[in-house]
């Protein structure tokens, strides 16, 4: 209920069309943020081949969601300018702490994204085959990023548990906001 006592329709179960729009919107926002994280990390760790490879894949993820967005006539989140800055700052900030911290950032983010894509995968029916296939493919690729980051020493980063939980909480908040705004 709003302050005036009128029921707020937005708080009810969004219909299927709106649900689909939200999914595409939050995924596009996430892939946009991912590209910005790697751009921030590469601004500091210019020659890191693992980061270059991850950035390239995130660009492909973003391009696919930009396409889905146009197909389904979904508007981007209004928070895109915020993710532009926050993504880059998170990337540059972790990279300044060192390569292992940069990799810890990937582990924390990808754990949240894996869960997020997993939930979407489970809720998508066969009426959206392209989106479902995309979510499945990207989920696997994000897990591959996570694995590579662990190989590069993510878990040996200084203050790993603190870094991990802060980034994890931030990513969950970004998802929550991007689904709604």
Write out the residues near Fe ion by the rule CB under 5 A.
31, 34, 58, 61, 142, 145
Which of 3, 86 has the CB closer to Fe ion? 86
Which of 18, 60 has the CB closer to Fe ion? 60
Shortest distance (Å) from residue 107 CB to Fe ion: 11
Q: How far apart, in whole angstroms, are the C-alpha atoms of residue 23 and residue 124?
A: 10
Shortest distance (Å) from residue 56 CB to Fe ion: 11
Q: How far apart, in whole angstroms, are the C-alpha atoms of residue 141 and residue 53?
A: 11
Closest CA to 142 of 21, 46, 27: 27
Which of 14, 53 has the CB closer to Fe ion? 53
Shortest distance (Å) from residue 106 CB to Fe ion: 7
Q: Classify burial at 135, counting beta carbons within 10 Å of its beta carbon; exposed 0-12, middle 13-18, buried 19 or more.
A: buried
For residue 36, the Cα-to-chain-centroid distance in whole angstroms is 10
Helices (H), 72-159: 80-96, 99-123, 129-151
121 Cβ partners below 8 Å, 6+ apart? 132, 135, 136, 139
Which of 14, 136 has the CB closer to Fe ion? 136
Which of 14, 141 has the CB closer to Fe ion? 141
């Amino acid at each position: 209920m709003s302050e005036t006592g009128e029921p707020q329709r937005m708080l009810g179960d969004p219909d299927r069309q709106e649900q689909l729009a939200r999914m595409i919107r939050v995924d596009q926002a996430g892939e946009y943020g991912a590209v910005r994280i790697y751009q921030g990390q590469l601004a500091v760790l210019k020659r890191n081949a693992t980061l270059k490879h991850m950035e390239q894949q995130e660009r492909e993820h973003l391009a696919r969601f930009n396409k889905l967005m146009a197909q389904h006539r979904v508007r981007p989140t209004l928070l895109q300018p915020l993710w532009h800055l926050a993504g880059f700052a998170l990337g540059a900030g972790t990279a300044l702490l060192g390569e292992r911290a940069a990799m810890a950032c990937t582990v924390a983010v990808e754990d949240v994204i894996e869960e997020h894509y997993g939930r979407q995968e489970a809720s998508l029916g066969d009426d959206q085959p392209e989106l479902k296939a995309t979510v499945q493919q990207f989920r696997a690729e994000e897990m591959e990023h996570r694995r590579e980051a662990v190989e590069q020493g993510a878990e040996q980063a200084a203050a790993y548990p603190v870094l991990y939980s802060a980034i994890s909480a931030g990513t969950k908040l970004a998802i929550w906001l991007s689904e709604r705004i």
